[in-house]
C-alpha cells in the first residue's frame, strides 16, 4: 500500500479513541500523512496522536486529486472549519477510508478534545472494570447490611408486644435496581451528563441504604 499523496511507504501505528478502542492507522514514513481504513465512530485521544503528528493549519495544503490506496477510486476532499486554521482531509466514498495529510489529524483531534471534554478516569477499559467491580462490591455490602438489619427488626418485632417498623424488602429491591442502573450510567456512559446522572443516582441510593441500616 502506497501513500496517496507522495507514494511513500506506510507503517502501522496504534492509536486509541477516548473510549479506549484500538485503531490501527497507517502512517506515511515520507510525508507524515495518516490513512484510516474507516471513518472514526468516536474521537481519538490527543496524547496518542501527538506521538506521530503535530497540528498544522490547512491553508498550506493545495487542493489535489488523490486516489484511494485500497480500490484506486478518487478521494473526495473534505474541509472543516476549526477556529481560524481549518482542517482538510480526503475520504473514499466506496471503502470509507480517510487520508489525513501531516498536521490535519492532530488539528482535528485537539479540537474535538476541547469541544467534547470527557472524564479522564474512564479513558481505559481497565479503569472502567476496576470502577465497576468496586461499585458492585459496595452494592453487595449495602444489601447484606440492609438485610441483616431487616432480619434484626423482624426478630425484635416477634419478641416485642408493641409493633415495630423496619425496612421494607421492596424498598431494598428498588434501591438495588436503581443503584445498578446508576452504576451502568457511571461506568459505561460516554457523555458527561450521563456519567453525572449515574453518580447522582448512586449517591441517592447509598443515602437510602444508610437510612435503612442506621435508621432515619
Confidence of residue 66 (pLDDT cuts 50, 70, 90): very high
74-83, 108-117, 131-140, 194-203 — most confident range: 194-203
For residues 22 and 167, what is the distance between their CA atoms, to the nearest angstrom? 47
List the 76-80 sheet strands across, edge first.
10-16, 22-28, 34-36, 98-100, 87-91, 76-80
Convert the pLDDT of each residue in 95-151 to its tens digit.
999 999 999 999 988 888 887 765 444 445 566 677 777 788 888 777 777 767 666
Provide mean pLDDT across the span 141-170: 62
Highest mean pLDDT among 38-42, 48-52, 134-138: 48-52
pLDDT of residue 148: 72
Cα 156 versus chain centre, distance: 49
Model confidence at 173, pLDDT cuts 50, 70, 90, reads confident
Buried (b) or exposed (e) across 160-188, using 16+ Cβ within 10 A? eeeeeebbeeeebeebbeebeebbebbbe
Overall average pLDDT of the 156-184 stretch: 69
Amino acid at each position: 500500500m502506497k501513500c496517496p499523496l507522495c507514494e511513500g511507504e506506510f507503517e502501522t501505528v496504534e492509536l486509541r479513541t477516548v473510549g479506549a478502542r484500538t485503531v490501527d492507522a497507517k502512517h506515511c514514513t515520507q510525508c507524515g500523512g495518516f490513512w484510516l481504513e474507516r471513518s472514526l465512530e468516536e474521537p481519538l485521544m490527543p496524547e496518542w496522536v501527538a506521538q506521530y503528528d503535530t497540528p498544522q493549519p490547512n491553508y498550506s495544503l493545495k487542493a489535489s486529486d488523490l486516489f484511494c490506496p485500497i480500490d484506486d477510486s478518487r478521494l473526495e476532499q473534505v474541509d472543516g472549519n476549526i477556529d481560524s486554521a481549518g482542517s482538510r482531509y480526503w475520504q473514499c466514498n466506496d471503502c470509507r477510508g480517510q487520508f489525513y495529510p501531516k498536521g490535519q489529524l492532530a488539528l482535528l483531534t485537539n479540537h474535538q478534545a476541547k469541544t467534547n471534554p470527557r472524564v479522564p478516569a474512564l479513558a481505559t477499559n481497565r479503569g472502567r472494570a476496576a470502577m465497576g467491580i468496586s461499585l458492585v462490591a459496595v452494592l453487595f455490602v449495602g444489601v447484606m447490611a440492609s438485610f441483616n438489619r431487616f432480619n434484626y427488626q423482624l426478630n425484635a418485632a416477634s419478641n416485642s408486644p408493641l409493633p415495630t417498623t423496619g425496612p421494607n424488602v421492596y424498598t431494598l429491591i428498588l434501591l438495588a435496581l436503581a443503584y445498578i442502573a446508576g452504576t451502568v450510567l457511571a461506568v459505561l456512559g460516554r457523555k458527561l451528563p450521563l456519567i453525572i446522572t449515574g453518580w447522582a443516582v448512586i449517591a441517592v441510593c447509598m443515602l437510602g441504604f444508610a437510612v435503612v441500616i442506621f435508621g432515619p
